Amino acid sequence: MGENLSVTRPVVERAFLVGVEAKGGRNRWSIENSLAELEQLARTAGVEVVGKLTQRLDRPSPKHYLGTGKLEQLIAFKGEKGYNVVIFDDELSPRQQRTLEETIEVKVIDRTALILDIFAKQAHTREGQLQVELAQYQYLLPRLRGQWSHLERLGGGIGTRGPGESQLETDRRLIHHRIENLKVKIEAIRKHRHLYRQQRSRVGIPIVALVGYTNSGKSTLLNTLSSANQEVGDRLFATLDPLTRRITLPNKQQILLTDTVGFIHKLPPYLLAAFRATLEELMDADLLLHIVDITHKSAVQQCQTVEEILNDLGLAQKPKLIALNKIDLLPKGEELEGAITHFTQQFNMESQEVVSISAAKGWELDRLMHLISGILKAPLSQET
């Protein structure tokens, strides 16, 4: 008789998504589009999305994020939808997360934790793993008290005085120590990168850095132009670790083309800080090639998000060329021309600063290379 072997299957996380739109806010993203992106993030993390809930408030509740009525509605959905995790579209305060978990009685995470989880999953190099770990610890540190809230709920008395608080302080010291250790290691990487960039500068080969919203097609373009075999996929944050390849322009000039981590709406500040060593690749670039997925319904908002992040990084004055990608997925003719016109007007750009391409099909890449050649030659002609 054969053995009766039981197979333990992993529990599938069924998520309910929640977003709040502040009335009178300056956010250009609609709550519907923001939640659609949150759903894509959840699916990238391997989570099944079973429902969504939105609310418009003057400002989120400091205790439960949601208003009372919507919170009751969310709790009622638990029986109907069978969710076992709730994902909020904004970063929650430690108090909000703690009280929400106590009220709903399921795991509660926010957009920041979800993005950090995806980054941890996608980081393959030692450098990327260190940077993600630093961001995770910086996110966790103010939330440590919640890890010991079970002691507080015991009601005090014998067995609850001291140990929890002592452990909390121990955990804080250990995390502070780990954060400092990670910063030292990342600083060493930063210095190594700086020396490497100095060597590249002495060689005198111009650097073109690919920037853009996540999943806009940067890695596909790098592959097409250089046969780099960089991993690509229709998912968010497929690329975390920078990759540089040498390519030759039509005028025989050689350039270094660098692919970097994609940006996203509501990008956690921990990640920008932790990935400073990687993002410094952009500082020394002679040209930023901003790739935009022209087919995305939030293409303008995505482009604005990237431009704002570049501005925050002090890169607003860098020479830049915008490439409207994935035109093979657009109807030909007026819609394509209208999209290009809309972008040039939206961002107050000259027509020569915007080019439409298909990285996947190789369309218009010769024109893109000629434009890059012209931009890189311009500063030299001004100096002579």
- Name the band, by pLDDT with cuts 50, 70 and 90, for residue 238: low
Position 159 pLDDT exceeds 50? no
User: Mean pLDDT: which of 84-93, 127-136, 195-204 is highest?
Assistant: 84-93
Q: Is 217 exposed, middle or buried (0-12, 13-18, 19+ CB in 10 A)?
A: buried
User: Count of CB atoms within 10 A of residue 330's CB?
Assistant: 16
Domain extents in the chain: 14-118, 123-148+160-203, 205-383
DSSP string, 226-282: H-------SSTT---S-EEEEEE-TTS-EEEEEE-PPB-TT--HHHHHHTHHHHHHH
Q: Tell me what the mean pLDDT of segment 100-111 comes to.
A: 95
The pLDDT assigned to 157 comes to: 39
The pLDDT assigned to 5 comes to: 46
Q: Tell me what the mean pLDDT of segment 209-222 comes to.
A: 93
Number of H helices, E strands in the chain: 14, 10
d(CA 257, CA 278): 15
The angle, 0 to 180 degrees and rounded to 10, between the axes of the packed helices 68-81 and 94-104 is 50
Position 103 pLDDT exceeds 80? yes
The pLDDT assigned to 384 comes to: 33
Beta carbons within 8 Å of 70's beta carbon, 6+ residues apart: 53, 55
pLDDT digits (tens, 9 = 90+) for 327-373: 998 876 556 777 777 777 777 766 567 899 999 999 999 999 999 99
Superfamily of domain 205-383, CATH level 4: P-loop containing nucleotide triphosphate hydrolases (3.40.50.300)
Position 107 pLDDT exceeds 90? yes
Reading the block at residue 9, the tokens are 């299957």
CA neighbor of 178 nearest in space, from 133, 129, 225: 133
Position 276 pLDDT exceeds 90? no
- Name the band, by pLDDT with cuts 50, 70 and 90, for residue 273: confident
The pLDDT assigned to 378 comes to: 64
The pLDDT assigned to 268 comes to: 84
The pLDDT assigned to 24 comes to: 65
- CA dihedral (339, 342, 344, 348) in degrees, to 10, reads -160
Q: Tell me what the mean pLDDT of segment 373-380 comes to.
A: 76
* DSSP assignment letter at 82: -
Superfamily of domain 14-118, CATH level 4: GTPase HflX, N-terminal domain (3.40.50.11060)
- Name the band, by pLDDT with cuts 50, 70 and 90, for residue 306: very high
Same fold: 14-118 with 205-383: yes
* DSSP assignment letter at 296: S
Q: Tell me what the mean pLDDT of segment 51-74 comes to.
A: 95
**Higher-confidence residue: 364 or 238?**
364
Q: Are 86 and 15 in contact (CB under 8 A)?
A: yes
